[in-house]
Chains A and B, each alone.
Chain A
């Protein structure tokens, strides 16, 4: 009824190529973004901002990064945690060495450092594919974590090996460090993820994105029609690692405040991979949905027994949580192997026909 595109004609190339060709979509997305900037800082409790929304945004950024590589370019990677660690430790080194440097610039530079490392570890992708590539990227995960643990220089010789986010401001507002407000950190994370999601969305609709998809769908055919595998694959690794690096820096500076390498271990790589798979391979929206699923469901499951007034022992509750969570993942993969993004797409298609389906 409301969601109908009748009468919306595309008279120019620009309107035909718009990200959201339907007016209703445009309005909806714009409203959501504006609401995301305004409502939570005013309404949400600190728990919601700090323990739910900030990690959701940061994981979403990492998931977009991995989605570019795995979902669009078809290169399976298990090195996400390692690349995030590169971003985190370079941001820490940069901002302690140059305190006057704007923290957003620091994030971007540490993304570039992560991209360089990603390029390096992307080289094997030219010769090996699929699961074998996953094993090769796994090596990068373990090597990078080992490196940050072993070389004390990366932590400025802190005896505990922990890096701590110092106080840094953007436009006079404290956005990182112990004295910053959660709202400021939330808005920073949101602004970064909004910009990078927009860039990602445009990237995958461009020549680069199409060549990634060509490589993903049939690399030999892509090579024959003139897509250069070396450049395309390495570009995917570089850009993906850039995203992961920025997300890793945010993980320390906007979320946890102080971390050791354990925060970037292999389970983080799997977590981000699950987000991409559950959300939908090859979909920017899917990265957000997957991240929301992985962050929100455990929070919901831990709080649910309290809601109905059930006081379960914590150990039992945790085990139930893990079982239900695992069950949900399997359920969604069986019901919709293409991820939550596909569910969204289906519901949109249904909505177009509603209330007169044929």
Chain B
């Protein structure tokens, strides 16, 4: 009885001490970037490589160059498990350290953070995910989703399918299936696909897979019944592995199965073994380690024992995506420093840096990424850059790029984007700013 009451009081005291759990204030000599990651749960297979890539590139900058122009980068990871509530909790906690930009790594969390961005003066950088409509910078000054968004990607994939069929006019009467994660993320591409189906006369089928995506037997039964010509998939986490396995199991032509850029990582295809051979995926950067940046990562980060991943995990598509994400963030910070000086920056200054980012091929070569990704120019109106897309294919051992850069159909995507931006902006009671007045 006595032991019991002692134990209880200890526990209650521990709970009462919880208010003491405050986050320490950030050091003002550094630029602080909070990282919302997910290294546990159903989305860990996708979350781990991307988080590792991001952290490694920032470590590289700190180790090799002493930060950006001498200003060190500081970061802290917070586990969200890809869950909106935990993501918001993480953001609020790390906000105490005065961050200037945040990478939510989840479309649902991005939707929750977008309304907070203008008030908190924190740039939301959702690279290739999040709200597609936020590409219209006139309505969403604080949100950036370059180098390209879901709608552009969907149009580029349809263009690729057209190329494979021998021209976009050959799409008429074909059946394209979109398998998507039943969430804000997965649904994002649907409006564009529907529009393209109308324009090019192909039959579009939409099949949702519920969170977390481990159970897809009924989905693939429907696939077998409908026998589509092409499958496009917007999956994430454990859903991808299961889908690739199921596709292999029903004997679907793997080279007619294209994942979006979140559905084509090593961890998605390896579990299916040889069955996954031929599976394709979209991307906006090259896979592999044949670039100078990877040599530097090995030399400065991994040989110093500071790497976040294992050395052989370098070069996986999602790892490389984390590297690109970190590089784009760093270059935007650098752009801001060129105007405001080499010191820790405010949120507004960083926002200016993002909006005036002009990443040239020359600059890409300097950061050791020649041929790794493409040049980007962000403007006040265009926070997306409408970047082109590559198609990569799994050969059983590694990913190979099998296409040229495929341009999205800007004529289709941009008008829809602008219309959607008006709608989404009004929901948040935003007003459109006049880009002519911005410098």
Residues of A within 8 A of B (CB): 45-48, 50-51, 55, 149, 159-162, 164, 166-167, 177-179, 256-263, 265, 293, 296-297, 299-300, 302-304, 306-307, 313-315, 317-319, 328, 331, 335, 343
Q: Which of B107-115, B162-170, B214-222, B332-340 makes up part of the contact surface?
A: B107-115
The answer to whether A162 touches B88, judged by C-beta atoms less than 8 angstroms apart, is no
Complex: A268 Cα to B194 Cα, angstroms: 33
> Within 8 Å of chain A (Cβ to Cβ): is B14?
yes
Binds A, one of B185-193, B257-265, B276-284, B384-392: B185-193
Instruction: Name which of A46, A315, A319 has the most chain B CB atoms within 10 A of its CB.
Output: A315
Sort chain B's interface into a size bin: 35 or more
Chain A residues, CB < 8 A from B359: none
Whether A257 contacts B112 by the Cβ 8 Å rule is yes
Q: Are B20 and A50 in contact (CB under 8 A)?
A: no
Taken together as a complex, chains A and B put the C-alpha atoms of A335 and B11 apart, in Å, by: 12
What is the bound-complex CA distance between A260 and B218, given in angstroms?
23
Interface contact B183-A262, CB-CB below 8 Å: yes
Known: A162-B184, A314-B77, A318-B81. A47 touches B20 (CB 8 A): no
Interchain CB contact under 8 A, B18 and A296: yes
* A152 to B, closest residue via Cβ: B187
Task: With CB as the reference atom, state the residue of chain B lying closest to A307.
Answer: B21
Binds A, one of B89-97, B345-353, B366-374: B89-97
| Residue contact B115 to A51, C-beta cutoff 8 Å | no
A356 vs B190: C-alpha distance in the bound complex, in angstroms? Answer: 72
Question: Number of contacts between A and B (CB, 8 Å)?
Answer: 133
Interface centre among B20, B21, B22, B190 (most CB of A within 10 A): B21
Contacts known (A179-B119, A256-B85, A263-B85); A299 close to B21, Cβ less than 8 A: yes
Interface residues in chain B, defined as those with a beta carbon under 8 Å from any beta carbon in chain A: 4, 7-8, 11, 14-15, 17-24, 37, 39-40, 44, 48, 77-79, 81, 84-85, 88-89, 92-93, 95-96, 107-108, 111-112, 114-116, 118-119, 131-132, 182-185, 187-188, 190-191, 208, 211, 420, 427-429
- In the bound assembly, the distance between CA atoms of A164 and B44 in angstroms comes to 27
A304 to B11, CA, bound (A): 14
CA of A45 to CA of B111, assembled, Å: 23
Question: For B23, what are the chain A residues with a Cβ–Cβ distance below 8 Å?
Answer: 47, 303, 306
**Inter-chain contacts of B89 with A (CB < 8 A):** 51, 299
> Can you give 19 A-B contacts (C-beta < 8 A)?
A47-B96, A51-B93, A55-B85, A160-B107, A164-B115, A164-B428, A166-B427, A177-B429, A178-B115, A179-B119, A256-B85, A259-B84, A260-B184, A299-B89, A304-B21, A306-B23, A328-B11, A331-B7, A343-B8
Contacts of A159 in B (CB 8 A): 132, 187-188, 190-191, 420
Tell me which of A149, A265, A328, A335 contacts B208 (CB under 8 A): A149
Q: A46-B95, A256-B88, A318-B81 are in contact. Are A160 and B188 (CB under 8 A)?
A: yes
Residue contact B40 to A318, C-beta cutoff 8 Å: yes
Which residues of chain B come closer than 8 Å to A256, judged between CB atoms?
84-85, 88, 112
| Across the A-B interface, the 3 shortest Cβ-Cβ residue pairs | A178-B115, A303-B21, A315-B39
Residue of A164, A259, A262, A307 with highest tally of chain B CB at under 10 A? A262
Residues of A within 8 A of B108 (CB): 162, 259-260, 262
Instruction: Tell me if B112 and A318 are in contact (CB < 8 A).
Output: no
Q: A46-B95, A162-B108 are in contact. List 7 more A-B contacts (CB 8 A).
A: A51-B93, A296-B15, A302-B79, A303-B22, A314-B78, A315-B39, A331-B7
Contacts of B131 in A (CB 8 A): 160
Q: How far is the CA of A47 from the CA of B37 in the complex (A)?
A: 19
CA distance A319 to B21 in the complex (A): 19
Main secondary structure, interface of B, reads helix
Bound Cα distance A303, B190 (Å): 40
Cβ–Cβ < 8 Å partners of B39 in chain A: 313-315, 318
- B183 adjacent to A167 (CB under 8 Å): no
User: What are the residues of chain B within 8 A of A307 when measuring CB–CB?
Assistant: 20-21
Q: Which of A48, A258, A299, A302 has the most B CB atoms < 10 Å from its CB?
A: A258
Taking CB atoms, residues of chain A closer than 8 Å to B40 are: 315, 318-319
Q: Tell me the minimal C-beta distance from A266 to chain B in angstroms.
A: 10
Query: In the docked arrangement, what's the CA distance between A46 and B116, Å?
Result: 12
> Which of A50, A178, A331 is the one whose CB lies under 8 Å from B88?
A50
Inter-chain contact B112/A45, CB cutoff 8 Å: no
CA distance A265 to B22 in the complex (A): 30
In the bound complex, how far is the Cα of B107 from the Cα of A300, in angstroms? 27
Q: With a CB–CB cut-off of 8 A, which chain B residues contact A178? A: 115-116, 118-119, 428-429
Cβ contact of B7, chosen from A167, A258, A335, cutoff 8 A: A335
B190 to chain A: closest residue by CB: A159
B184 touching A160, Cβ below 8 Å: yes
Q: How far is the CA of A160 from the CA of B149 in the complex (A)?
A: 14
Contact between chains at B24 and A258 (CB < 8 Å): no
> Chain B residues near A55 (CB, 8 Å)?
85
Chain B residues near A319: list those with CB within 8 A: 40
A179 x B8 contact (CB < 8 A) = no
Chain B residues contacting A335 (CB-CB under 8 Å) are: 4, 7-8
Given contacts A45-B96, A303-B18, A307-B21, contact A314 B37 (CB under 8 A): yes
Residues of chain B contacted by A257 (CB below 8 angstroms): 112, 115-116
Please, which residue of chain A has its CB at the minimum distance from the CB of B24?
A306
- Which chain A residues lie closer than 8 Å to B107 at the CB level? 160
Which chain A residues lie closer than 8 Å to B4 at the CB level?
A: 335
A167–B84 alpha-carbon span in the complex (Å): 21
Given contacts A164-B428, A256-B84, A256-B85, contact A300 B18 (CB under 8 A): yes
> Are B84's CB and A263's CB within 8 A?
yes
Residue from the list A48, A297, A304, A314 in contact with B79, Cβ < 8 A: A314
Distance, CA A47 to CA B97, complexed state (A): 11
Closest Cβ–Cβ distance, residue B387 to chain A (whole Å): 21
A65 to B185, CA, bound (A): 32
User: In the assembly, what is the distance between CA of A256 and CA of B109, in Å?
Assistant: 10
- A residues within 8 A CB of B20? 307
